[in-house]
Amino acid sequence: MSKPVGWRAALLSLVFFAMLLGVWQIAATPRGGSGPALDPEYAKLIGAAAAVGQKSPFPTPIEVGAKLAEHLADPFYERGTNDRGIGIQLAYSIARVTIGYLLAALVAIPLGFLIGMSPLVYGALNPYIQVLKPISPLAWMPLALYTIKDSALSSIFVIFICSIWPMLINTAFGVASVRREWLNVARTLEVGRMTTAIRVILPAAAPTIMTGMRISIGIAWLVIVAAEMLVGGTGIGYFVWNEWNNLSIGNILTAILLIGVIGMALDQGLGWLARLVAYQE
């Protein structure tokens, strides 16, 4: 990509952003027109929108911005078990995702190697993988709660089970499609099986494995929010649920924005790792 395009793309991005905010502000601004005159005692007991005969409105971008600033100004407060700053909640979620994801990688990559190197094992395990792969992670949740009997472990298990498949399949695929010639060269040079795996197959399959890992981290981050909404207690998913409970759309939008930013950072991090192992044939 040449430089002038990048600069113009950034400008266009900003224009889109401004347009979005503008339309949102106009759409969310409450219409004028007051409802029937109300008993002042009654009006005091209900929300401002309900007092003019309307439903409570969607927050404007300015209100959401104020909420965001408020959360970012003090992200690590702790006012009791059920009221912690958004930074602490995000940290809980990131920790859960990291643990579940690393466990999945520890299982998926060696297993993927095995499957990729042996067509027999590949054939035998493939039906199971195909059935288990499309199961929604949240469908695992009741089962996990019932068998593991611990909600914190259950959410880590759900991360584990949903991030394992892309890594497993990509590793197997990457290992299986290493070029024959390279393996033959290794064999001609009488390289041992272990050495072949580490010195020839691993570097050759690394880009495909990294792609699998990148897909997995995306899924893991998607799933954690839903899982935490279900189990509650801590994490950004719990934060969203708690604010939904209070019908506070402003806080929910703040959380959504931060979830997006963190997800992007995780993806970019793995993208950077992927570039380190990439090679040109």
Partner 1 sequence: MARAFDNPFNPNVTLGNGCSCGQHANEAEHARAAADIDLADTEALTARVVETAVVKAVFGGDVRRRQFLRLLGAGTALAAIAEFFPLSLAKEAAAAAPGPLEKKDLKVGFIPITCATPIIMAHPMGFYAKQGLNVEVVKTAGWAVIRDKALNKEYDAAHMLSPMPLAITVGAGSNPIPWTVPAIENINGQAITLSIRHKDKRDPKSWKGFKFAVPFDYSMHNYLLRYYLAEHGIDPDRDVQIRAVPPPEMVANLRADNIDGFLAPDPVNQRAVFDGVGFIHILSKEIWNGHPCCAFAASRDFVAGMPNTYHALMRAIVEATAFASKNENRKQIAEAIAPQNYLNQPVTVVEQVLTGTYADGLGNVKRDPKRIDFDPFPWDSMAIWMLTQMKRWGQIKGDVNYQQIAEQVFLATDAARFMRDAGLAPPKAAAGHKFKIMGRPFDPAAPDAYVDSFPIRRS
Residue closest to 116 by CA, chosen among 170, 193, 165, 162:
170
28 in Cβ contact with 57 (< 8 Å): yes
Cβ-Cβ contacts under 8 Å for 54 (sequence gap 6 or more): 30, 31, 35
Q: Which helix (H) or strand (E) segment is 51 a member of?
A: helix 48-51
Stretch that binds partner 1, among 45-53, 93-101, 167-175, 208-216 (CB under 8 A): 45-53
Stretch that binds partner 1, among 93-101, 196-204, 241-249, 253-261 (CB under 8 A): 241-249
Does 161 bind partner 1 (CB under 8 A)? Our answer is no
Structural contact between residues 209 and 109, judged by C-beta atoms closer than 8 angstroms? yes
HSE-CB at 34 with a 13 A cutoff on CA atoms is: 6
Measure the CA–CA gap between 160 and 162, rounded to whole angstroms: 6
Using CB under 8 A as the binding rule, whether residue 25 contacts partner 1 is answered as no
* Nearest C-alpha neighbor of 225 from the set 137, 147, 165, 107: 137
- Shortest reach from residue 30's CB to partner 1, in Å: 11
CB-wise, 41 or 181, nearer to partner 1?
41
For partner 1, which residue of 44, 127, 188, 272 counts as binding (CB under 8 A)?
44
Under the criterion CB under 8 A, does residue 146 sit at the interface with partner 1? yes
Q: With binding defined as CB under 8 A, does residue 81 bind partner 1?
A: yes
Residue from 1, 3, 39, 134 that binds partner 1 (CB under 8 A)? Answer: 39
CA separation for the pair 226, 154 (Å, rounded): 13
DSSP one-letter string for 108-172: HHHHHHHHHH-HHHHHHHHHHHHHHTTS-HHHHHHHHHHHH--HHHHHHHHHHHHHHHHHHHHHH
Could you tell me which stretch among 114-122, 124-132, 163-171, 227-235 binds partner 1 (CB under 8 A)? Answer: 227-235
Q: Tell me if 158 contacts partner 1 by CB under 8 A.
A: no
User: SS3 of 136, please?
Assistant: coil
> Residue 65 CB, nearest distance to partner 1 (Å)?
20
Strand partners, 58: none
Say whether residue 27 binds partner 1 (CB under 8 A): no
Binding window for partner 1 (CB under 8 A); candidates: 54-62, 65-73, 106-114, 126-134: 54-62
Q: For the CB of residue 264, give the shortest distance to partner 1 in the complex, in Å.
A: 27
Shortest Cβ distance from residue 144 to partner 1 (Å)?
10
> Residue 147, CB half-sphere, CA atoms under 13 Å: how many?
7
Question: Which is closer to partner 1, CB of 3 or CB of 44?
Answer: 44
Q: How many residues bind partner 1 (CB under 8 A)?
A: 39
Instruction: Select from 3, 31, 79, 180 the one that contacts partner 1 (CB under 8 A).
Output: 79
Footprint on this chain of partner 1 (rule: CB under 8 A): 36, 38-39, 41-42, 44-47, 49-50, 53-56, 79-83, 142, 145-146, 149-151, 229-233, 238, 241-247
